[in-house]
Amino acid sequence: MAKRVLIIGNGIIGLSSALAALQRGMDVTILDRNTEHADSCSLGNAGMVVPSHFMPLAVPGIITQGLRWMRDPESPFYVQPRLSWDLMKWGMRFYMATNRDQVNAASELLRDLNLASRELYSQWQDSGIDSSLVKRGLLMLCKTSHGLEEEAHLAERARELGVPASVLTPEETTALDPNVSMQVKGSVYYPKDCHLNPGQLIASLRQRIRDLGGEFLFGQHVTGWKQQRGRLEAVETVQQSVHADEFVLSGGVWSDELARPLGLRIPMQAGKGYSLTVPNPVELPSVCSILVEAKVAVTPIASSLRFGGTMQLGELNQSIDPRRVQGIIKSIPEYMPRFKTSHFEGIEPWVGLRPVSPDGVPYLGRPKGIDNLVVATGHAMMGMSLGPISGKLVGELLDREDPSIDISLASPDRFID
Q: Kindly list the domain boundaries of the chain, sorted by start residue.
A: 4-42+200-266+360-410, 48-194+268-356
| 261 contacts 224 by C-beta, under 8 angstroms | yes
Give the integer Cα–Cα distance in Å for 220 and 33. Answer: 5
Instruction: Spell out the residues 6+ positions from residue 228 whose beta carbon is closer than 8 angstroms to its own.
Output: none
Q: In what order do the strands lie in the sheet with 27-31?
A: 215-217, 27-31, 4-8, 246-249, 373-377, 363-365
**Per-residue pLDDT, 69:** 66
> Which stretches within 71-144 are classed as H helix?
85-96, 100-127
Please count the other Cβ atoms lying within 10 Å of the Cβ belonging to residue 322.
12
**Per-residue pLDDT, 34:** 87
**Per-residue pLDDT, 263:** 93
**Per-residue pLDDT, 40:** 62
Give the integer Cα–Cα distance in Å for 74 and 225. Answer: 42
SS3 81: coil
- Domain 48-194+268-356 sits in CATH at 3.30.9.10
The residue ranges of the chain whose pLDDT is under 70 are 38-42, 62-64, 66-67, 69-70, 417
SS3 274: strand
- Domain 4-42+200-266+360-410 sits in CATH at 3.50.50.60
**Per-residue pLDDT, 94:** 85
| 75 contacts 69 by C-beta, under 8 angstroms | yes
SS3 231: strand
Give the integer Cα–Cα distance in Å for 220 and 8. Answer: 10
